[in-house]
Each structure stands twice: as C-alpha cells, then as structure tokens.
Amino acid sequence: MKEIKQAAAGDKINAGKLGIDKGMMLDATVQSLAKLNPKIQVKNPVMFIVYMGAIITTILWFLSFWWNVGGGTWYIFAISIILWLTSLFGNFAEAIAEGRGRAQAESLKKARRDVIARKLKTADYESEYVEIKSVELKPGDIVLVKASEQIPMDGEVIIGVASVDESAITGESAPVIRESGGDRSAVTGGTTVTSDWLIIRVTVEAGKSFLDKMIAMVEGASRKKTPNEIALQILLITLTIIFLAVSACLLPYSKFAIIINPGTNAEPVSITNIIALLVCLAPTTIGALLSSIGIAGMARLNKANVLAMSGRAIEAAGDVDVLLLDKTGTITLGNRQASEFIPLSGISERDLAEAAQLSSIADETAEGRSIVVLAKNKFALRSRELAKLNARFIAFSAKTRMSGVDIGQEHIRKGSADAIQNYVESQGGIYPEECRTAVERVAGAGGTPLVVARNDKVLGVIYLKDIVKEGVKEKFSDLRKIGIKTIMITGDNPVTAAGAIAAEAGVDDFVAEATPETKLALIKKMQQEGHLVAMTGDGTNDAPALAQADVAVAMNSGTQAAKEAGNMVDLDSSPTKLIEVVRIGKQLLMTRGALTTFSIANDVAKYFAIIPALFAAIYPNLDVLNFMRLGNAMTAMLSAIIYNALIIVALIPLSLRGVKYKEQPAGKMLKNNLLIYGLGGIIAPFIFIKLFDMILCACFGLPVW
C-alpha cells in the first residue's frame, strides 16, 4: 500500500511513528469544531456531559455580570474555557484518527474511476461487444479487458491469462498473474492489465466493489462499534450517571450543612464547582479516547495491508487462541525444491543428474527449474541446444503423472513412483526394490520423491524438499508464549506432515490429508470446546471453513468466494499475515484496557485530591485529608480540571500508536499494565494537580504550601 502510506507524506511534523502531517492537524482542528454539533456530541454520552457543562458554565458566566451565581466572574470564565477545551480535545482525538483514514481513502479514490468497458455478447474474444460505462455493469456481465486497460469492476477470470498491476491497492509494483480456474482467478476493479488480455465475469454491482468497501472502511464511514466497545461504553455511562446523581446532591447537602453549622461562615457549593467536579470524576479520559482507539486499530490493520470487513473481527483476533495455517505457502515456501539426487546401484549421480536435467529443461514449474539448477550447481551441467538433438518433450499431465523428453532412441521419464513403475514395466523393465526403499526414505523424511527412468531402466530418485520459511519457528514459539495453539493443515500424508514439516516448523499440532470437510469439522470442534479460531484461505474450497472461523483472513489473490466468506482480506496475499493480525488485535484490546484502567485510576485519585480541599470550609474536619495542602477550593478545582483536559491531549499519541505489545503470558501482561497504567494512573493526578496548584497559588499570591 505504498500509495496509501505516501498519502500522509509531505510536510511531516515531529510526530514520531504517527505519520501525521500539518494538513491532517489543520483538518482535525476544523473537524473538532464541527463536531461540537449537539447531534454529534450526544452520540458520546460521557463527553456530552462535558459539552453540557461547558454550555451551562458559559451561561453562568454571562449571568455573573448581573447576579451572584456563586464564584467570581473570572473563575467561572476560566472553568468554562477549560471545559470547552476538554470537549474540543476529545473531538480532536477522534478527528485525528479519522483524518489518517481519510488520507488513505483519498489515495484509493484516485484508483477508482469510471472507465469504458467492452461488454461481450458471449464469452469469446471474437464476440460482438458494446461499450458501456463501468458503473452500468451488473453481476453476470462479461467484459473483455486488454493490455494497458483498467479492469472496470470486480469479477472472476473465465478465459485468459494476463499480468495485472495491483499497486493501486496493494502497493506492490510487481505485476501478478491472474488466470481462469484455480485460486488466482479473482480480479479487482481499479487494477490494470499490463499484458495479454482477460475475459471477466462481473460479480458485484456498482458501488459495492472491493475498492468501494475498502474506501468506506478506511474512512470510518462504515465503522460500527464492536461488542466490547459497546459494553465498555455502557460501563462508562453507568459510572457517569452515578457521579451525576452524587453531584446533584452536593448543593442541597452543602446548604443543609451550613444551616446546622451557622458558625462556619461558608457558602454552599456553587453550581460551577459542581459541574467541574462532575467532569473531573466522570471517566472523561477514556470517554474522549474510546472512539479514536477503535479507529486507530483499524488504521494499523490497514497499514499492514489487511482490510477488515468489521471491527468485531479485529477484536476477535485479539482473543484468538487457535490458529489454523495451511502448510504450502504459509509454513513452507510453497514451491518444493530439489535437494538431492539419489542414484541406484550401478548408476552414477552425474548420469542421474544429467537425465533429470534433460527431462526438466522444458518444465517451467518451480520444482522443474530447481532440478535444473541443482544439476548445474553440483556437476556444472549446462542446458543443451535441444533443437540439434531433435528432442521431443512430453508435458506433464494429471492422468499420466509424469513428464519427460524423447531424444532419438532415448526416452527419459520423470514422475511419481507408481507412474514410473507402470511405465518401466510396460517397457518390459523391472522396478527395483532399491528404488522403492529410496522412495519410502524420502517420503518418510517429509520430502516428495520423483523417480527418473531411461527407457526400461530406473536411474534413481530426486528428493524434492519443502522449505520451511525462515523465522516461522520463532513466530510460533512467540505465539505459544501467549497461549495460542498453532495447527498446520496439509493435504500431505500423515508421515510427511508429522515426520518432517510439523516438527521443523515447531507447530503444536497438525491435520494431514485435509479436505474442505475436514477443515470445517475441525473448526466446529474447536469452537464447541470454547476456542476462538483463526484461519487463512484463498480457494473456493476454503470458503466453508472461512465462513465458520471466528477470524477468517482471505487472500486478495484468491477466489471471490473466499474473499466473500472471510471477514478480513490480506492485500499482500501472505498467509503468514494471520500472525500479525493476531498481534494487532491483541494490541487493540490491550490499549483499550490500559487506557480504561488509567482513566478510572485517575478518577479515584482526583476524588481524594479534590474533595477535601473543596469541602474543607463546610466540613472543617475534612482538612486533615487535604494532605496535598492545596491552596483553596478554587485553585484545587482549577488544577484538577486543567489536568483533566491536558491528560486527554497527552494520551492521544498512545491511543493512535497503541500500547507496546510483547509476546508474554496473559498474567504477566496484566500485571505489567496494572503496574504502569493502574498505579501510574493513581500517582499522576497527585503530582500534576499539586504542580498546577503551586503555579496558580504563585500567580494569585497565595502560600504555595
């Protein structure tokens, strides 16, 4: 997503890893003012209390010029200004998070444009066609796209093979191959065909394409509050209502206390102080940051080139405890490589290598190329001018399960053990027991054996090895530390899966000879046992399992069925991305939990810091609890409400960046967060409220201590 990442480039300010520029800051400031609309404010009940408090204190300030409404005119004005700033800071936190999403969306919108499409009458290159606008296309329509033309709408390739530039979506400049059939038939509207041509069947309506969904998600327009977010908001609202009820009782109680203690010469608590106290005690910190945390979590996922179809999927990723990963392309490189020539008795390794190379020269598969390379590296064998040799190549077919080359009277064949056995015996030869033993040894070691024969004689075995990706074992070890079980899924036989790849990769378990039904049954079984399951897939046969999984990451290169079944799409089509998705999900949950803990701890500390100073005049005995020795009720309240506003600003970078995540047990993680954000949330208000109070006392000529 280079375009997306570059969208926020330009005049960078000193914002660390946040990727915020001056334009975003200016836009967020404007949006903060726009969000003062009551219709917007009421959507966040906690911050709506702050908003209403700012309005009421502003009215009281105007009235204070003519009537005594409690507290001096300047004091009410100061409280009013700080409350307005608190509301604006909360709006700014949300606006800056949304701004990053809009910057990403603007880049994507450049890739989305209306083009003229060739709508074919039939699925034939030579078919008659009419030219229509891309927005007029409907599901089922068949279109022809030639080189250098933009694909008009999401669809499936039904005829053709071509290179497609998907850089507008994925950020990768290298074109990818899209072809009919298989798991790489899906194409995305807005991408460009760079070579050859494709006949595509449209699968979506205008306005509902993958690119449209992507734009809506990164903009936040389609973001819905997740269940955890809703539950937390209900808790915050409940706490706010409790503090509202308590605050409402303070005025009559203070009047009653003065009546029964007439010698105190104290005044009842002013409405201004009651409003300020309510704002300080309500969970306004997390209330202001809650929305930005969710938006920023989505943005971090987008930065990783993963598009989440719902916020629920990101949260679920954070709670996942079982990962199902395909072997090929996920744990291994996907292409087996030749690693050894195993000649039979009486055959030199060089002769076997030469025959294997000849049979593989026209083999364009990764396995075939690796055989050629191995022969070249071991014996300096070079490709021959086969035209002079009058060579005739035998292409591989699923029916014969072998390939080869005929050079004069020489017939060289390479293929599976049973296919070569049948071939040799049909030529009147004997399939030796030594070859059968070598095949079993290779299979037992987790490799794939290919047998090479010349005419009616078996020459030996080629050892094709699955190469485990570098660093995969360490990643699985990290996941194990945080209690996540990894299960490898493979179509290989149990010996291959268990004996080699599973052990080398370090997975916790494996499922061999897996079918779509096997995958689906496994996921259901895990879920019935109380696990949250994540899985990756790219094929149509993966769709049922993806639909069943709690977190389903479909590959962008995969079929439309897989992308529709998944609740996330990996634009890089990297199956190992699932591990990063889990980390981002856990980081989102940790960030929300840490800042909630900090906010509530703040409220507890502010209660013990403010109350004694505020009510000491009415209840003199409370002065003993004023251990901070705050100047008076006004400086104490001003200090508390200033801190309450500034702490929101201070925590905006953390809400956007997220709490630092490390692979460690949940118990240790909770302990660390309670120590940092729980204890820190209690200590910080005492330090900064006292500091602000000292500054205010110095300004007003009051004793600092």
Encoded amino acid at 608, one letter: F
In angstroms, the CA 372 to CA 44 distance is 66
In angstroms, the CA 118 to CA 199 distance is 10
Q: Which of 212, 326, 550, 570 is catalytic?
A: 326
In angstroms, the CA 608 to CA 612 distance is 7
- CA 116 centroid distance within chain: 34
In angstroms, the CA 489 to CA 511 distance is 5
In angstroms, the CA 572 to CA 569 distance is 9
Among all chains, which residue has been given the structure tokens 């299979």? 443
The two structure tokens encoding residue 299: 């943005």
DSSP state of 667: H
Listed in sequence order, the residues at least 6 apart from 4 whose beta carbon sits closer than 8 Å to its beta carbon are 104, 107, 108, 171, 218, 302, 303
Residue 398 φ then ψ, to 5°: -65, -25
Dihedral class, residue 181 (left if φ above 0, else alpha if ψ from -120 to 50, else beta): left
| CA 309, 313, 314, 320 torsion-angle sign | negative
Residue 132 φ then ψ, to 5°: -135, 165
Could you tell me if 239 and 282 are in contact, meaning their C-beta atoms sit under 8 angstroms apart? yes
Residue 156 φ then ψ, to 5°: -115, 135
The two structure tokens encoding residue 663: 């692979």
Encoded amino acid at 251, one letter: L
CA triple 247-252-253, angle to 5 deg: 80
Nearest C-alpha neighbor of 341 from the set 432, 251, 460: 460
Nearest C-alpha neighbor of 76 from the set 647, 663, 638, 670: 638
Encoded amino acid at 596, one letter: T
The two structure tokens encoding residue 142: 């068949």
Nearest C-alpha neighbor of 86 from the set 659, 649, 479, 666: 649
326 labelled catalytic: yes
CB atoms within 10 A of CB 380: 7
Residue 3 φ then ψ, to 5°: -65, -40
Residue 155 φ then ψ, to 5°: -170, -170
Q: Please list the active-site residues.
A: 326
